[in-house]
Amino acid sequence: MTASVNDLRSLPHIKQRRAILETPVPGKTHRHPRMEAKRERIVNAAMQHFAEHGYHAARIEDLSAQVGVAKGSIFQYFGSKGGLFLEAYKKAVRSFPTYLDSPSQIRERGFFEILRYWLLRTERLVREDWIPYRVALLGNYGVDLSLKREINRFLLAEDPYGSTAFVRLGIARGQVRSDIDSTLIVSILDWTMERFQDALLTEELDPGLFPHPADPQKNQMRINQFLLVLEGAIGV
């Protein structure tokens, strides 16, 4: 069938409307499947790029060439380099297990045994998932303060490690203090666990507590001492 003159005239307008509908807006949810797939591909490549180069040394130009996506298109999706890193950080920490993802027999032993389980498995988890761990590490220590504030807001809003539910379980079982605001206990748990694990695994952050390369026996002694101190602070 031959298109009419009016149909042909309307084609550019159809294309323009389609382009407008498919143009990504930073911070918005993109529902178009093709856009979502492209966005996911950029974030996955960004995770590896940031993990290998760090936040400040990473270059959007290099990432653009790597994934075959125009630099301007990346900025349309994420707004800025910081916006892209924030999405990579979110994906990284969402890939980690929560406290209550521990085996049922470990959960039955109680709050501090769950902590011991994850501390003893930390090195193995990082070895299996180096890229997301490195991105999370950069988000904790290697970004600008303005970006760190956005990361803290995300952690507070989403609680990706399930710390709140974990602390509530400890209080309900009578193993964690109920005379202290539970949100303060969650903060103490997150701060101390995060920094202890980072020092345990990352020599650049170790103030001299741990042997590097790791000595399992000495590290286990440090883990026992850490749990003893933490239990003295928040345990019943």
Please say whether the beta carbons of 69 and 42 come within 8 A. yes
Euclidean distance between CA atoms 157 and 147, whole angstroms:
15
Please say whether the beta carbons of 206 and 199 come within 8 A. yes
pLDDT of residue 231: 97
Euclidean distance between CA atoms 138 and 77, whole angstroms:
22
Residue 2's SS3 state is: coil
pTM of the model: 0.81
Q: Which of 168, 179, 196 is nearest to 233 (CA)?
A: 179
Mean pLDDT over 18-23 rounds to 43
The pLDDT tens digits of the residues spanning 52-95 come to: 999 999 999 999 999 999 999 999 999 999 999 999 999 999 99
Euclidean distance between CA atoms 80 and 71, whole angstroms:
10
Residue 225 phi, psi dihedral angles, 5° rounding = -65, -40
Whether the per-residue pLDDT at 8 is higher than 50: the answer is: no
The H or E element containing residue 91 is helix 81-94
Predicted confidence band at 224 (pLDDT cuts at 50, 70, 90)? very high
The pLDDT tens digits of the residues spanning 153-212 come to: 999 999 999 999 999 999 999 999 999 999 999 999 999 999 898 888 887 777 777 776
Please say whether the beta carbons of 233 and 179 come within 8 A. no
What's the Cα-to-Cα distance from 69 to each of 74, 91, 144, 152, rounded to whole Å?
7, 20, 26, 30
DSSP designation for 120: H
| Chain-centre distance for alpha carbon 46 | 13
Please say whether the beta carbons of 165 and 100 come within 8 A. yes
The pLDDT tens digits of the residues spanning 115-135 come to: 999 998 887 777 778 999 999
The pLDDT tens digits of the residues spanning 89-118 come to: 999 999 999 999 999 999 999 999 999 999
- Decide if 10-93 and 96-234 have a common fold: no
Euclidean distance between CA atoms 225 and 230, whole angstroms:
9
Every domain of the chain and the residues it spans: 10-93, 96-234
CATH number 1.10.10.60 is the correct assignment for the domain at 10-93: yes
As its CATH architecture, domain 96-234 has Orthogonal Bundle (1.10)
- Give the tokens for residue 94: 């969402």
One-letter amino acid for residue 179 of the chain: D
